[in-house]
Amino acid sequence: MARRGRTSKVDWVLGILQTRGVERGIRGASRSWFWIAVGAWSLRRVRRLVGSEPEVVWRGELKPGQTIDIAHLKEIYGTTKR
């Protein structure tokens, strides 16, 4: 099965579980597969909302002698650091 676009392996597996869950849970009347489909669908939506996929912030070419400094700032949500 060819993957469309740039999906992560986790999202790909969740997609398969969601599809099989719908096929076997709703069409096949299996309660456990239905809940697997609901869980996979929910996890995929949460991953998209949270933005768990890496984001490219800069892409370029360094010439000989050039350097790049990579720093990470702590994000603050409310009063807790994450």
Residue 2 belongs to a domain: no
> What is the pTM (predicted TM-score) of this model?
0.52
Query: For the chain, what is the domain count?
Result: 1
Cα–Cα distance measured from residue 42 to residue 14, given in angstroms and rounded to the nearest whole number: 10
Residue 61 belongs to a domain: yes
Could you report the per-residue pLDDT of 11-68, keeping only the tens digit for each? Answer: 888 889 999 998 898 888 888 999 999 999 999 888 878 765 667 788 899 999 999 8
For residue 31, the enclosing domain spans 9-81
Identify the bridge partners of residue 77 per DSSP, sorted by sequence position. 80
Residue 4 belongs to a domain: no
Q: For residue 11, what are the CA distances in angstroms to 38, 52, 59, 73?
A: 14, 10, 25, 27
Banded model confidence at residue 1, pLDDT cuts 50, 70, 90: very low
Residue 59 belongs to a domain: yes
